[in-house]
A and B are shown apart, each in its own frame.
Chain A
Amino acid sequence: DAEITQSPRHKITETGRQVTLACHQTWNHNNMFWYRQDLGHGLRLIHYSYGVQDTNKGEVSDGYSVSRSNTEDLPLTLESAASSQTSVYFCASSEPGLAENEQFFGPGTRLTVL
């Protein structure tokens, strides 16, 4: 069955370190998204991609970067982790072309920055 996976599921790091969160999907979707979930804010879009070599900034992109070298993966990098980036991170993918298409979500990565 097609799926979307994230790794690691839990990560503890220190302020100032670079951290990369992995997202891998086997749906063969061109669209991929990264969100962070914080209490009282729901999910907020960090970065998104509509295909290989395409990346775009979302609502809360400061301090984060992504790269898309193939269809299956969209890793999220925190260049210099800050305590404000402690959050749960979700990756999602969808079929392009139709705005009504469902986004499929991964299980999430809980990141703690000390």
Chain B
Amino acid sequence: AQSVTQLDSQVPVFEEAPVELRCNYSSSVSVYLFWYVQYPNQGLQLLLKYLSGSTLVKGINGFEAEFNKSQTSFHLRKPSVHISDTAEYFCAVSDPSQKLVFGQGTRLTINP
């Protein structure tokens, strides 16, 4: 069975600083990996996804993630954050039956 661990429940950073949100997964089969973002009082929207091919995946709003099979990680990065990036971020893995398994979420807080 798949599982996802997000290593930080909260990450505070200053505006224009870089940020990395960490995600590790476990799976016995090939997986597809996702990062979703949830802005306050809203549903989730897709930031980016890894299916195959290049291990560096670029998403919306300047975010990118790197798939590392040997370390079973899929960390999310942004070189310079903005106040509008304040949100909760979820890492997820899908199994062959098309269900998603989510991590616990990381709350990103941007300080001016």
| Chain A contacts to B: CB under 8 angstroms | 31, 33, 35, 40-45, 48, 50, 58, 90, 92, 94, 96, 98-103, 105-108
With A99-B94, A100-B49, A107-B43 as given contacts, are A41 and B32 in contact (CB-CB < 8 Å)? no
Query: Which of B13-21, B65-73, B77-85, B100-108 binds A?
Result: B100-108
Given A100-B94, A102-B49, A106-B43, does the pair A42, B100 have CB atoms closer than 8 Å? Answer: no
From A43, A58, A92, A100, give the contact of B32 (CB < 8 A): A100
A-B contact pairs, 16 of them (CB 8 A): A42-B4, A42-B104, A43-B44, A43-B102, A44-B102, A90-B43, A90-B44, A96-B98, A99-B97, A100-B49, A100-B51, A103-B100, A105-B44, A105-B45, A107-B43, A108-B43
Which residues of chain B are within 8 angstroms of A40 by Cβ–Cβ distance? 9, 104
Greatest chain B CB density within 10 A among A42, A101, A105 is at: A42
Binding site for A on B (CB under 8 A): 4, 6, 9, 32, 34, 36, 41-46, 49, 51, 90, 94-105
How far apart are the CA atoms of A105 and B92 in the complex, in Å?
14
Q: How far is the CA of A102 from the CA of B44 in the complex (A)?
A: 11
Q: Please give, as numbers and ranges, the residues of chain B lying within 8 Å of A41 by CB-CB distance.
A: 104
Query: Which A residue's beta carbon lies closest to that of B101?
Result: A45
Q: How far is the CA of A45 from the CA of B97 in the complex (A)?
A: 13
Chain A residues near B6: list those with CB within 8 A.
42
Which of B9, B41, B99 is close to A33, meaning CB atoms less than 8 Å apart?
Answer: B99
